[in-house]
Every structure is written in C-alpha cells, then in structure tokens.
Amino acid sequence: MVEKKVLKAISSKSSDEFYSPVPKNFVKGKTKFIFVTGSVMSGLGKGIFTASLGRLLVDRGLKVRPMKLEAYLNVDSGTINPYRHGEVFVLDDGTETDMDLGTYERFLDITLDKNSFVTSGRIYKNVIEKERRGEYLGRDVQFIPHVTGEAKLAVLNLAASSKADVVLVEIGGTVGDYENLFAIEAMRELAFQLGKENVCFVNLTFVLEPKHAGEFKSKAAQLGLRKLLELGITPDVIVCRSQNQIPEKIKEKISMNSGVQMNRVFALPDIDNIYKIPLFLRKQGVDEKILEVLELSKKFKANGSKSLKSWTAKNLIPERKPVTIGIVGKYTGLHDAYISILKALEHCAAKSKTPFRLEWIESANLEKPGGENALKRIDGMIIPGGFGSRGVEGKISAVKFAREKKIPFLGLCYGFQMAVIEHARNACGLKNANTTEVDAKTPSPVICILPEQDEIEDLGGTMRLGGFDVLISPKTIAHSLYGSLKARERFRHRFNVNTEFIGALEKNGMVFSGKAPKKRIMQILELSKEAHPFFVASQFHPELTSRPLKPNPLFLGFYSACRKKAGL
C-alpha cells in the first residue's frame, strides 16, 4: 500500500532516459540564463566578474539572481578551514557559503538564500536520498541523467522561485577539473533543452605574460578553451583576464582558435579597485553583447550609464593620509579569510573619503615577549571571529591593550567573547575567567556553550546560524549608531555569555546594549563614552550585512572613532 502511494506521487518521467525534472511553476523563456566558467587556472576572479556583470544588468533594469555551482563534495562551506577556501559567508537563512555569495550580495545589494548556493556534495546527497526513497522507479542511478538532472533542477528552481529576468550561474573550479564536470554537462544539456536564445555561455580565461618572454602568450588560454569545446560548449563571450592590458593580436588568436567572433572577445586586466570593473566592462560593451545573445538587447537598452557612473564614483577612495587599523586574528596569512571585514572597511572608507592601511597582527605572536609592540602603530583594532584555543591569550591581551590605551575597538563574534573574558579578568577580578571552548574546567566560565548546542555532535550546519533580530537598548552607543531599537544581523556561533556572570560584568562597567528577543543571549556589548572613546563588540558578524554606499552602522562608528584617533 505504501509502495503504491510512493509510485503514484512520483512522475512517470523519473524512468525516462531523458530524466530532467522541471519545477511546476517554471515557464520556458521567461527567465534567461548566463553561465560563467573559468579556464587555465583558478583564482581568476570569476566571482567578482559575475557580480560585476550582475551590476550591469541591474543597471539596465533587469531583475537578476546569481548562483554559485560549487565543485567540492562538502554539502556547504561551514566545515572548511579558512586557509583552504577563504571566508565562510553566512546568508540570512543560515546557509554557510563561500565568499563569492558575499560579493554577489554586496554588488547587487540583495539578500540571497540557499537556492543561490549549490555544491556537488548537495547534489549527490539529493540524488542518494531520492534513490533511497525509490523516486527513480527502480532505475540504475547514473551520472547522466540523474546527477545532471539534479543540477539542472537546482538552476530552474532558482529561476522559478525568484521570478528573475536573468539567472547568473558561476561554475566553480576550472574547466578540466573532474569535480565540476557534472555542472558543465548539466549546463550544456540545459542550453539544448531551453534553446540557444535563452542561454549565454561566458568563459573567463587567463593570458600569461612570462617575464622571461617579454610578451603575452595565449597558448594556455587556447588550450583551456579547446577543453571547453571538447565538453560540448562553445562560449558566446570570452573575457581575457591578465595582469596588464593585452594587445589586439592576442584577442585575434583567441578568436580564431575558439570560433568566437572578435567583437565578443574582451579584455579584463587587473584593476586597482573592483568597483571600477562594471563600468570598465560597460565601456567595452560586454553586457550589450550578452543581451544580444539572449535576444534582450532591444528591450533593455543602455541608459547612458549615468547611474552606474555615479555608483562607481561614490565607491572610490581618494588618496590622502590613511587611518591604520590592526586586525588581530589567527588566519592573517590568508587575507581572504577576512574578506567581508576588508570590504566593510572599504565601504566606510568610501563613505568618509578617508583611506585605511592594515596591520595584520597574528594573535599567537602577541603571546611572545615584545609582541605588543605591533599594537603601538594602530589607530583602531578589530578582533574578528575564529574557533579554537590557538592565539586566544594573545587576543585577550590585545583587548586589554585597546581598553587601557583608549584605542578604538571592534570585536566580532569571537572578539566579543574575548572582550568579555578580558573584562571579567581585569575589571571583575575573576583571574581565571575563560571560555569553556578553551578551558572546560575553568572556575569562572564567563563564556559557555549555548544550551541548544550542548548535545550536538555533528559540526556542519549545526551552529546558531543566519539572521536574527537584535533588540537595542535606548540611550546607548549601539542605539546612536543604528538609530533604531531593533536591527537584523547575521550570526555564526555556538558559545555565548554565561548568564550567571552578566550581573557581575554589568556591575563593573560593561553595558550589554543588544540582546536577543525572548532569550537571555547578549549580542552587543560596549563601554560608556566616559570610560572609552569607542569600545564595542558584537556576537554577530556585522561585516556580512555591510554594502557599498551602505556601511554597517557598527563599522561606520568604529571607523569614525579611528579617524578621530588619527586626527583626520
């Protein structure tokens, strides 16, 4: 009986050789698709290009939704070490993604959800779960059509749920990787099913410029494009990444060897400010050619780029004396681990027309004799998020230095917890205060695990994740910055302030100005203006909601204090 119900609920198309599930509310031709691939090597900046292209299309009046089809087998990015893959970006719905989603949100000024991030791990997980439920009607489950069918379904689901004019899909990895073959094949099939007028393929390739040769070499780019052709995809547009501007003859070689017309081969050399890239691409007509492929050029004409020029100009930072900001972290060897923090500072710099200079301070080095000398050159200090015990005492000593020397301080997540520990030790007299994450037997566990996290064993996707409301106390620094009694921010943590110690912390000068609704979870702390020019920390990650022209209020307040400290 159960088996009959299952079979009845499953479409007979599950047994077709051309198995290709389509959402019920998807309408062919209503949404156009742009697929962005990369060849020759990784690290080309596909995410920045995809976001810039999205900005161009939004500027023309289209509704755009981006997606990252990631190659790795992790279900999401949550368990990946920042040294391996850079920052973990958290969406409002709690999805842990890679940093490209942050770039999309910032450039397009939109809030994305789980439908915009799909890994091969998630694809395979879905396939196995469907097989276990019997949804393939006894078929032998194969790479084609089942894995590719699931990938296509993810893309079409985003189109249907978002009702976008254009869905921009960045395929992670490099053409030729085994890991992303499923995605490339799925997109080839999708183009075949939807019709060429509904799909545009863009390939970012890299043109080498070996110093010993003294000229550009395009052979690697040609071979990378040839590999894409072997996989059944002829790109409609090619964008040539390079360190310096390439000559026309290089574009001619690439055009001839790929079969792509010269007027659809474009150059994108390194540019000093990523916010200049959309306008740089617009001047070459990149978006115009893509819209021609999608048969949208007549409907969405260029608007003279007035709004794009204004957006670009407002994001530029003038050259003048900078403020010096120290980032005291444990992943300082890879700046991408803190990319959203850097972007939030850029937003503040553009808003205030004051540049900044970074001092990268490895927290473990502060535990060595003379380590605090690195803190004497800064106008402000940020202690970012992190996990584990390495460098913890260095971070606590850095908080103490900032508090005593009146250096503007902003603590983020783990930095918030370090500020609580430092205050407990040095203002409340709890000399052995610590977090149970580091010392499970500390007699003063001022930071402890959240109750709902206590019995969780799995690591992936189990923290307190995503957007939550923060209730802000009136007449506090936080209230003056937000201008509201409520804010929505994004979280990623397991530990919080132990409620047993809140009274002692407050009695000795710490103000908890932001709290969770209906729960006694402290979310913003501060010291009064009388005690310190700017000392604020948040259990959430304000860097994740900062946008170009719309800096996060906590960052903007911190930046203003740094400028004042520097006399700017």
Q: Kindly list the catalytic residues.
A: 413, 541, 543
In 3-state terms, what secondary structure has residue 36? strand
Q: Which pairing describes strands 464-472 and 486-493: parallel, antiparallel, or unpaired? A: antiparallel
Q: Count Cβ atoms within 10 A of the Cβ of residue 140 and give its class: 0-12 exposed, 13-18 middle, 19 or more buried.
A: exposed
Q: How far apart are CA 446 and CA 448, in angstroms?
A: 6
- What CA–CA distances, in Å, run from 329 to 98, 387, 472? 19, 11, 28
Which one-letter amino acid corresponds to residue 125? Answer: K
With tokens 């992670």, the residue in question is 172
Q: Which of 407, 392, 397, 384 is nearest to 324 (CA)?
A: 407
Angle at 333 between CA 369 and CA 270, to 5 degrees: 140
Distance between CA atoms of residues 399 and 415, nearest Å:
8
Q: What CA–CA distances, in Å, run from 442 to 103, 433, 448?
A: 40, 7, 10
The torsion angles phi and psi of 174, rounded to 5 degrees, stand at -120, 145
End-to-end CA distance of the chain: 76
Q: Nearest-CA neighbor of 47 among 75, 70, 63? A: 70
Helix axes 120-132, 148-162, angle to 10 degrees: 100
Contact call for residues 351 and 383 (beta carbons, < 8 A): no
Give the C-alpha distances (Å, rounded to integers) separating 8 from 18, 137, 139, 507. Answer: 20, 11, 16, 65
Closest by Cα among 111, 482, 106, 168 to 315: 106
What is the 3-state composition of the chain as percent helix, strand, coil, each rounded to the nearest 5? 40, 20, 40
Rounded to an integer, what distance in angstroms lies between the CA atom of residue 497 and that of residue 417? Answer: 7
- If 0-12 CB within 10 Å is exposed, 13-18 middle and 19+ buried, where does residue 179 land? middle
